[in-house]
Amino acid sequence: MTTQNTSTIPFTKSKDFFIGLDSDGCIFDSMEIKHRECFIPMTIWKWNLQAVSRMARECHEFVNLYSKWRGINRFPALVRTLEMLAVYPGAAARGFKGHDISGLKNWMATEKQLGNATLKKAVAATQDPCLIQTLAWSETINQRIDEMVYGVPPFPLVRETLQKAKSVCDMIVVSQTPHSALTREWEEHGIDGFIQTICGQEQGSKEQHLTETCVGKYPREQTLMIGDAPGDMKAAKTAGTLYYPIVPGREAQSWQRFYEEGYARFIAGTYDGDYQANLIAEFDKALPEKAPWETK
């Protein structure tokens, strides 16, 4: 029996099981190239961080790649990076005085869908200088990614896992990457046919993606979120789904484990409990909360 969709996300239940999939750093090994070659250069340029470029790079990489903030939406990540940079040891001595990002923080506090489309509306309504600067930064990053990021294939065994799951699992993309970039990347590698819909930053938070598509439609033990960031785990907890972590730095091993044993446990109903808890404990240890320079 098919359950008709009444949410704003195009999705119709057709299988007994549900899997939500993050994209960057989970399906594709694209986190490093996107942040190191696209986000960081554009952040240094658009936020005038040339005098503290090394420090800015370290702050950005820690927030977006190597910490418990990994994978969060670009706008709160920017705020976290700039605030961390403002107190970075030695930054003030190089003349860095920080930025007034109150306009950005105010917008984030009132807007549920943090993306360029809603940011453009806020800029038009307020002409806030900080929001204007943020929009220029975000649009430049998108352009840079469109020009540079291609030919990055899925991690080993991703395609085989999706092929295995397709017959019994409804699958969607759950991401904070812009929808156009997600569509391009999934189509480029011919894996878009395995999923029902792609949810990007324009469709709201990851919690919203999961809540609108799977809550109330499947038993909890038949829903699963796969991701590489604490935000994915938080979204799974909020929506009441199980969670399978792709451990940063051990992505290939994580997918091999899911392909060989995790998926079978999920389908058999033996995934929850100690098995999931042990995986989450391993994942939690891989991403620290404090940066190296904060622990000295």
pLDDT for res 128:
97
Distance CA 279, CA 195 (A): 25
Q: What is the pLDDT of residues 235-285, one digit of tens each?
A: 999 999 999 999 999 999 999 999 999 999 999 999 999 999 999 999 999
Residue 9: both structure tokens together: 């996300």
pLDDT for res 113:
86
Distance CA 74, CA 81 (A): 10
The partner residues of 36 in beta bridges, in order of sequence, read: none
Among 215, 222, 225, smallest CA distance to 265 is for 222
Distance CA 120, CA 117 (A): 5
Provide the residue count of the chain.
296
C-alpha neighbours within 13 Å on the C-beta side of residue 255: 21
By the 8 A CB rule, do 11 and 172 touch? yes
Q: What is the pLDDT of residues 6-29, one digit of tens each?
A: 347 889 999 999 999 999 999 999
The partner residues of 77 in beta bridges, in order of sequence, read: none
pLDDT for res 8:
77
Distance CA 214, CA 228 (A): 20
By the 8 A CB rule, do 259 and 158 touch? no
Distance CA 163, CA 27 (A): 14
Residues of the chain with CATH 3.40.50.1000: 17-30+154-286
pLDDT for res 204:
87
Give the Cα-Cα-Cα angle 34, 35, 38 (nearest 5 degrees).
Answer: 65
With the CA atoms of 7, 9, 14 and 17 taken in that order, what torsion angle do they form, in degrees rounded to the nearest 10? -100
Chain centroid to Cα 132, Å, comes to: 24
Low-confidence ranges of the chain (pLDDT < 70): 1-7, 296
Domain range 17-30+154-286, CATH architecture: 3-Layer(aba) Sandwich (3.40)
3-state DSSP assignment of residue 19: strand
Distance CA 116, CA 94 (A): 32
Residues with Cβ < 8 Å from 219, sequence gap 6 or more?
none
Model pTM score:
0.84
By the 8 A CB rule, do 163 and 188 touch? no
